[in-house]
Structures are given as C-alpha cells and as structure tokens.
Structure 1
Amino acid sequence: MASKLTPGIYFKPYLRQHQIGEETFSHWRLCYLAGYRCMMRSLRLALLVAFAAALVGTSAGAETKLPNIVIFMTDDQGYADVGVFGAKGFTTPNLDRMAHEGRIFTDFHSSQPVCSASRTGLLTGCYPNRIGINGALGPNSKIGISDQEMTLAQLVKQKGYATAIYGKWHLGDRPQFLPTRHGFDEYFGIPYSNDMWPNHPEAKQGTYPPLPIYENETPTHVGVTHADQEQLTTWYAEHAVSFIERHKDQPFFLYVATNSPHVPLHVSDKFRGKSARGLYGDVIEEIDWAMGQILEALKKNGLDDNTLVLFTSDNGPWLSYGNHAGSAGPLREGKGTNFDGGHREPFIVRWPGKIPADTVWPGPAMAIDIFPTIARLTGAKLPDHKIDGLDIWPLFTGEPGAKNPHECYYLYYDVNALQAVRAGDWKLFFPHTTRTMNGQTPGHDGIPGKYKPLHVGHELYNLSDDIGETKDVAAENPEIVKQLEALAEKARADMGDALTHRVGSGSREPGRWTPPAQ
C-alpha cells in the first residue's frame, strides 16, 4: 500500500523543483483517499498550470531564437547562369545543392536592371526611384543613400544582430554614405563597380581614379591591380567565414556582394581554365565555391537549422561584352532594359526545416519584398516611412494557397521613367527607347560591342505562354491594357514618371554630400 503513495517518475522532478518532500506528497494522497477531493482538485489545477507554463515558456524560448540571415548577391549574373536554371559550359554544385535543399523562384526580379538602383531596392524595401537612387553611382558621387532611410542592417540592429557586408556597396562612397554609417558593423570591399578604374576599356584617361578597397571607413588599399581583382572573391569568402565563426553565438546578418561576374572578369589560379565556358565559366565556378564555403561554415558551426540563406543577382547579363557576359536563357535582352532578361534573376532560398526542400515557386516576386519578410522573421519594426515591398514569407515556405500580395510591380529605369507594369502574367510596356545587341557584333575578351537603339511601343505580353516577350497582344486584350494603365497611374501619382512628365507626391530625396566645413 505504501508504494502507491510514493510519487511516480513524472512527479519527482516537479516535487524537487518546488522542494516538496515525499511525506507531503503522501499527505496529499491520503487526504485525497480520505475524501478531500477539493484539495486534490486544487493540486491538479496547480500542477496543470505549472506544467502548461513550463510548456509555454519552452515554446516561447524556441520561437524567440532569432534566425541568422545570409544574403549572397552577385553582379551581372544572368538568369541562366546557375546549374538548376539551365547553365551550360560550367557547373555550380553548391548552388544546385542549396536549391535541392531549399526552394527556387523562377520568376524573381531585381527592382531595376542596373547596379546601384537594384541594391537600393534590396537593402531598403523601396523602389529605388522612390528614394532618389537611379542608375549606377560613380566615384565621388554627390548623392547616395539618405540618412533618413532604413537599411536591412539597421532593421535587424533593433534586435541586436551583428552585421557585415563584404563586397560591392555602390550606394555612395562619401563617408556619410558608407555601410558603417547605415547599420553595418563591418565592411570590406569595393565601394562601386570594379570597372570604375583607370583600366576601363572605353573611358578617357583620367575619368576614374585609382580603385580602392575599403575596410570599414578607411581605404586601406588604393590602386587595385589585376592581381588584386583575381583575389576578391576569395577574400570575400574568407571574411564571411571568419564573421560566421566569430558571431556563431549571437544572431547575425551577413551580406556578401561579389563584384563578379561584372567585367573586367578576374579569377584566381584555383579556378582559371577549369570550365568549358572559358573565363566567364571559371568566374561563376569560383562564385559557387565561395557560396560553398559559407554553407560549410554554417554547418560546421551548427547553424544550418537556424539560418536563412538567400542567393540572387543584382541584374541581368551585360550582353555587349559577348563571351565575357552571362546568359539570360529564354528571356529577352539583358542588363539595362526592362525586358525580363534585364531584371529576372536566379533566386534560391534555403532554411532546413523551415523552407521545403526541392520545391519551386513559379509566380512573380521582387527583391523589395525581402526587407519586410526579414522584418517578420526577426520581429523588427518597419520604418515609419512608406516602403514598397510586402511580406512574402508564405511564398518561401510553400504555404497552401499562398499568393503574391502585390497588386502589381512597377518597372522603372533611367531617370525615374516608368517603362512597364507587371500584374500576374501580364506585362504592359509604355513607349520608350531602350537598347539591344540583336544584329550587332558582340564584344570579345573584355572589349564591348556596340548596342543599337530599340524603340518599344505600347506593348502587352502574356508571360505565362510567352516568356521571351515575342508577341505583342495589346490589340487582342484592350481590357487588360486598360487595367494596367490604371495601375500605372497610381505609380505616376505616387512616385512620378519622367516619360509623362509627372512628379510624384510620395518621392523622397536621396542623401546629398555635405562638404566638410572649411
């Protein structure tokens, strides 16, 4: 009989925790047997409450473990320049493995088909033209990212993240525009494009100053050489691995932005001559190696299951460079145009246990959506000012019935020119002049060919059955044209449009360089 009064294995930890002896327990038991059911009901309730509280506490603790974020962005890599997206002449085993362990987006877009603007969209969640960043900023630019904007680094800083960028910045190189003034703890890299140097094949002598490498806010190496450029991808990977190892015990945001495969192409000895595609293929294989180094560092440090990794490119291939340019595959045109070859990018998301492996999201999405999605994952507060991206976490996870939350996407280029609107499968162009290499002699070995002008009319394409944008169906679909025109009017009123000479009420000024006081 006494054995029945001994607390069982499931009660002992609770009794120890609350310093309740076995005699007390036995007393409770005897009281119950004697008929003091009310007391036992109270005990049961107390036990249930304590147990539930413990469960809730455990669950809350698990949920509040903040995820690490890694974004790897390349420069001018074409849609078809990753194995799982159709690469030819070179292999990308690490990116392919990342895709099989995660999810690929086959209709993902940068916010503009050019360097500074596209990076602005990624880092702020805003259309770059909304905040005054267009095109590609050069050395000593008098404008850059404004102090009034919030970057991804500043977003997650609210939650105590360690932050770093290794690679290309391109949002202004004056001190007030540098990454360390906009939320990044560490910076190592080149502040703008790697062709903005004295060796540019088309620039007049004196156009560009010596190319610098920055560490935080100091240009520690001025006068980058070809030999230096050959090591950049390796140096960025080494910095990334070091950062992961140094911050494995706290949440971190790591942004790796390689200068490659932007021309001039450079590759280290370990990959030179390795691919069947020549120098361009060698460069992509080294980028893939760098991605592999980061994935291995996450695994080695036990961070795989708590890290969201994203891979993409800033815009499409620079087609005028011929054999030194990438491929947009089935897409039309490339960098510098608003045909899909200019801004539809390879996009891979990986987070074991959170993002379903070996899956595809075939619908549209854009880099501006990454900012609010990360805000959701980290619990960080969005800025008070308007941003344009929307949370697309359900698209990442493959939630049943998930849909893109946008009514449409706006495709701007040049100096705030609204050139097209994308809504679902439909894409409507507005009359403008762009460029094409069709019928032109392509560039070779780093010397570009010459584009010719291409006049685009009031054209409508259905991308579901015409991914190459070859058949204008505006005449057959007047109602669709009307609907997309109405959406365009919203953008013109909000952000303006140089093509129709409109000034938007929701546009904001970029940062402007303030010369030091004399």
Structure 2
Amino acid sequence: MIKIQSIIFIGLISVFFSCSSKQGEEKIAESSKPNIVIIYMDDLGYGDMGAYGATEIKTPNMDALATGGMKFTNGYASSATCTPSRYAILTGTYPWRNKDAKILPGTAPLIIDTAQMTLPKLLQEQGYYTGIVGKWHLGLGRGNVDWNKHISPGPNEVGFDYSYILAATQDRVPTVYIQDGKVDGLDPNDPILVDYSKNFEGEPTGKENPELLTMKWHHGHNNSIVNGIPRIGFMKGGESAKWSDVDMADHFLEKAQAYVKEHKEDPFFLYYALQQPHVPRTPNPRFVGSSGLGPRGDVIVEADWMIGEFIKTLENEGLLENTLIIFSSDNGPVLNDGYYDNAVEMNGNHTPAGPLRGGKYSLFEAGTRVPFITYWKGKIQPGVSDAMVSQIDLMNSIGAMLNSDQKGEDSENLLETFLGKSNQGREELVLEATGRLALRKGDYVMIPPHKGAAKISTVNIEIGNDPEIQLYDLKSDIGQQNNIAKDNPEVLNEMIQDYERIIGTPVSLTVK
C-alpha cells in the first residue's frame, strides 16, 4: 500500500513540474513577442523627407527611422487616396474589391465587415492589446449615426481594444474626437447634429459668411465653420466636444504615449495615424514658420517632432529594442487641396513627389509610391531595399512572424524582406486611384486607357487618364515621361494578360 502511494505521489510531483515548466515556456514565448507600431502619415509624399531626397525641409526624426532601419525605395500604399489605403493596410485586401472603399464622408457607415479578419483581430488572437490613435476614415455605425449615443460598429468591433479617433478627416464634420465609440467631452444638453446634404437653419457657412473665416476656402470646403475654418459637411451643436485644430497633433501624441505606458507589460499593437500634412494645415504656434515653406511644411516639421517624442517614450520605457515600427504614408502629396494656405506659393524648390510624376489622386507613381520604412532596433540592420512591397503585405507578414494561420486575401508574406533578410519583393501589384486601376510588375507599370481629364485642375495634378494605353519602364524612366507601349508589344501583352487575370475584366488599347 505504501509503495502504491509513493508511486502516486511521485506521479503527481512529475505532473506539477511538467505543467509548471510548460507554463514557463508559454510565458517566455508571450514575453518575447515584439510590440508592433504603425506610424501612418496622411498625404506625405515620396520626396517630403530628407531620407528620400528632400533638401528644403528638415525631418530628422523620420530620417532616423530610415537610416536606422530598412528604407524601401519601392514601397507602396494600395491607393492614391486615404480611405482605400487604410482599408488595405488593416485587411490585407485590395480596396477595389470593396465598392464602398472610396473617400468617405463623415457620416458613412463602417466599410469593414465585422466578420472580416483584420490585422488587429489577428493580433488579438496572438495575445496583443490593440489600439488606434488618430485618423480613422473607414466609416462608423450602420448609417444615420446618432453622435450623442454609443457609436457602433467602429474600430472596437473590427479588432481594436482601444480607439481614440477622428471619424473622417480634419476638414470634414463632425469635428470631435471619439473614444471607444463615444464622443469625448460631449455635453448631453448640446447634442450634435450632422448632415452632408443641407445646412441647419441659422448656422453660418464658409460660403455665406466669409467674414467669419481665419482660413479661406479654395474649392469644396465651404460648409460649416469650426475654429474659423470652413469644412466639408454641416454640423450643429457639440461645442464642448469640438477639437482645437492647432492642438490636434499634441493631443494625439499624448494619447499615443499614454497608451504605450499603460500597456507596456504585455505585447501591444498601436496604429498611430497622424493627420499631417492633410488639410487644413494648422500647425501649433510653436511650429509656425519652422519650415520656411508655409503651413504645409510647418505641419511636416511638427509631425516629425511628434514622432521623435513618441520614439523617446518607447526608449524611456525600455521598449524600443522589442518594438517593430512600420512608418509610411496613405498616399502621395498634394499642395492646394481645398484651402488658400500658401502651399503652392511658398513651396519654393521643394519637390514633395521627389522624382516621381503625379501626386495624390494619381495613377502615376507619386500617387501610391510613398516613404516606407521598417525599424527594429538591434533586429533590423540599417539598409536600403529596392524590393517592391506594399502596405497590403503587412498583415500576412506580421501573421507569419507570430505563426498565425490568418490571412489577408491579397496580402503576401514578405516578412524576411521587411526584416532586411531578403531583397525579394512582390512580382506584381495592382494600384488604384479613385476607382481607376493600373498594374506594376517588375520594372514596368501599365496604365489602361481611362476616360476623363488628364489633370485635376483644382489641385494641379496629372492623374494618369489617357485614351491610349500607357507602359513605362521605371528602371530607366522613373519620371514616366516616355510611353513605350507601341514599341514593346510583348511586354505590353504580358502585362495586359496579368491585369485581366487579377482584375477579371478585359483591357483595350484605346478608349473612346
């Protein structure tokens, strides 16, 4: 009997130590997971950083990420405008597959299906605390949102444990911050009303009341006035909740820093979506005149300082060596985008698009080729990569790093490339601009014939429309000045076949 009891006791001890050892291994594995931060700029062009060739503007903190990490010369947003690029980076799916993934008004419903796999959902499954601070612009609710109640679905329903956002853009109503589905600082006795089709009786507008403006509108921004700035859309009420434009960057920085400090004990994901240099450009007074290029340059300098302060927070909290940072922009640059702010007049010799043709809204390279950097102190060796990569690929690449089986429909696993261990990138990539598509493959880009004006006159940007099919060799003609379609029928036919295979619609050589 004593022998049997001894055997049982020894067995129990063995089970105990086995379980303890296993739990220890799991804890070590959990603690070794890197924090992941995406720093996402808004309308920052390929040539807007010193590390990408800018000489007229100083961006030391952005440049430090580039010189200390992997700088990609062929890094792409999915699209030449904000909403679709944000859809792609969070879902790993081409936005043209979703008919609603286009520039949204502030009242648009959520365009990410709550049942869809997203990058934050993937990370939640891997034990991460997930958060977004900054610009959202992917819709909220199911339509007809009541801004005075809990707003759902939104970021919290597609994978974010914490969200502190502006609903759409700084130039659109509602001009309030939303925390976890509730308007921050709202007085229930002063309810918010929002409409994008008609004004509320007695409310001043930029069009009817120019004497109230501190910033004049150039095109499209002449509705409700907030802080002396005319916006897109009409809004009434919510005075106590309205943001201060000049303090927005500081406000988001404080939220991002607090998030890091509160969740530093466990692996976290932060999508830090800055609003600069999108219009209206409203630098804090301490940054006014800092660039010599007017408000657009000043808000880039301001954003650079914010990024530097954020990196300092990671370093001070002992997190920098265990944090993967991805830095990029949602689309290419634009100077005059709706306000008279001297962006054109004071631009001087600065070239926001660098050597590229086009800009925001454009199928030419400057619309989607953007600054793209991966930084991980001590893990990613500094370097420059010419590999073609896209923000769409972050989902599958991060998933591979964490051994997740979750996938984005169009995302590719380029983990080794992002970590600087390989120079193998994508073979092909579909690019999008306001519903129009093009194909990049190897060194070539093919733009099918598209109807419409060749240039958006209000913003003075060539957008790639042409009745003839276009083919460019980016290796020898990065500025896309020489259409070689007629002289390279074999390359052109191969590009057309690949385009039709991916998109599923035929391509003609011309359009009437």
TM-score (norm 2): 0.76
- State how far apart, in whole Å, the 2-side matches of 1:497 and 1:287 are: 43
Alignment-derived partner of residue 69 in structure 2:
102
The match for 2:365 among 320, 340, 343 is: 340
- State how far apart, in whole Å, the 2-side matches of 1:278 and 1:252 are: 37
Alignment-derived partner of residue 158 in structure 2:
182
Q: Which one-letter code corresponds to 1:303 in the other structure?
A: L
The match for 1:192 among 168, 174, 178 is: 168
- Structural mapping, 1:317-336, within 5 Å: 317-321=333-337, 322-323=343-344, 327-336=352-361
Cα pair 1:173 1:192 within 8 Å, conserved: no
- State how far apart, in whole Å, the 1-side matches of 2:467 and 2:332 are: 19
Matched position secondary structure for 2:286:
coil
Residue 62 of structure 1, CA deviation: 5.8
Distance change (3 Å), C-alpha of 1:481 and 1:150: same
Q: Which one-letter code corresponds to 2:474 in the other structure?
A: L
Matched position secondary structure for 2:163:
strand
Q: Which one-letter code corresponds to 1:473 in the other structure?
A: I
Deviations 1:40-85 (A, max 9, x none): xxxxxxxxxxxxxx9xx87993686111001011111111111101
Matched, 1:414 2:426: no
Residue 492 of structure 1, CA deviation: 2.5
Residue 389 of structure 1, CA deviation: 1.0
Alignment-derived partner of residue 214 in structure 2:
none
Distance change (3 Å), C-alpha of 1:90 and 1:412: closer
- Structural mapping, 1:439-518, within 5 Å: 454-455=465-466, 457-493=468-504
Alignment-derived partner of residue 399 in structure 1:
421
- Structural mapping, 1:369-388, within 5 Å: 369-383=393-407, 387-388=409-410
Residue 435 of structure 1, CA deviation: 5.3
Matched, 1:145 2:112: yes
Structure 2, unaligned runs of 5 or more? 1-20, 142-150, 174-204, 207-216, 225-231, 338-342
Deviations 1:9-57 (A, max 9, x none): xxxxxxxxxxxxxxxxxxxxxxxxxxxxxxxxxxxxxxxxxxxxx9xx8
- State how far apart, in whole Å, the 1-side matches of 2:467 and 2:372 are: 28
Distance change (3 Å), C-alpha of 1:279 and 1:133: same
Matched position secondary structure for 1:432:
coil
Matched position secondary structure for 1:262:
coil
- State how far apart, in whole Å, the 2-side matches of 1:461 and 1:132 are: 28
Deviations 1:242-301 (A, max 9, x none): 111111110000111111111110111221111122221111111111111111111111
Q: Which one-letter code corresponds to 1:396 in the other structure?
A: F
Q: Which moved more, 1:341-350 or 1:140-149?
A: 140-149
The match for 1:118 among 85, 90, 93 is: 85
Distance change (3 Å), C-alpha of 1:409 and 1:451: closer
Cα pair 2:49 2:63 within 8 Å, conserved: yes
Residue 132 of structure 1, CA deviation: 3.2
Residue 488 of structure 1, CA deviation: 0.9
Matched position secondary structure for 2:371:
strand
Distance change (3 Å), C-alpha of 1:222 and 1:342: same
- State how far apart, in whole Å, the 2-side matches of 1:154 and 1:237 are: 24
- State how far apart, in whole Å, the 1-side matches of 2:236 and 2:477 are: 42
- State how far apart, in whole Å, the 1-side matches of 2:357 and 2:263 are: 42
Matched position secondary structure for 1:361:
strand
Cα pair 1:304 1:351 within 8 Å, conserved: yes
Distance change (3 Å), C-alpha of 1:269 and 1:338: same
Residue 125 of structure 1, CA deviation: 0.5
- Structural mapping, 1:417-428, within 5 Å: 417=436, 419-428=437-446
- State how far apart, in whole Å, the 2-side matches of 1:155 and 1:69 are: 12
Residue 363 of structure 1, CA deviation: 2.3
Q: Which one-letter code corresponds to 2:134 in the other structure?
A: G
Alignment-derived partner of residue 450 in structure 2:
432
Alignment-derived partner of residue 188 in structure 2:
none
Alignment-derived partner of residue 390 in structure 1:
412
Q: Which moved more, 1:190-199 or 1:82-91?
A: 190-199
Distance change (3 Å), C-alpha of 1:124 and 1:76: same
Distance change (3 Å), C-alpha of 1:456 and 1:156: farther
How big is the alpha-carbon RMSD for the aligned residues of Structure 1 and Structure 2?
3.1
Distance change (3 Å), C-alpha of 1:499 and 1:230: farther
Q: Which moved more, 1:455-464 or 1:197-206?
A: 197-206
Structure 1, unaligned runs of 5 or more? 1-53, 213-218, 501-518
Residue 455 of structure 1, CA deviation: 2.4
TM-score (norm 1): 0.75
Deviations 1:214-240 (A, max 9, x none): xxxxx896444xxx1111111111111
The match for 1:250 among 266, 271, 275 is: 266
Matched position secondary structure for 2:431:
strand
- State how far apart, in whole Å, the 2-side matches of 1:399 and 1:421 are: 26
Q: Which one-letter code corresponds to 1:274 in the other structure?
A: S
Matched position secondary structure for 1:176:
coil
- State how far apart, in whole Å, the 2-side matches of 1:319 and 1:456 are: 27
Residue 499 of structure 1, CA deviation: 9.1
Matched position secondary structure for 2:47:
coil
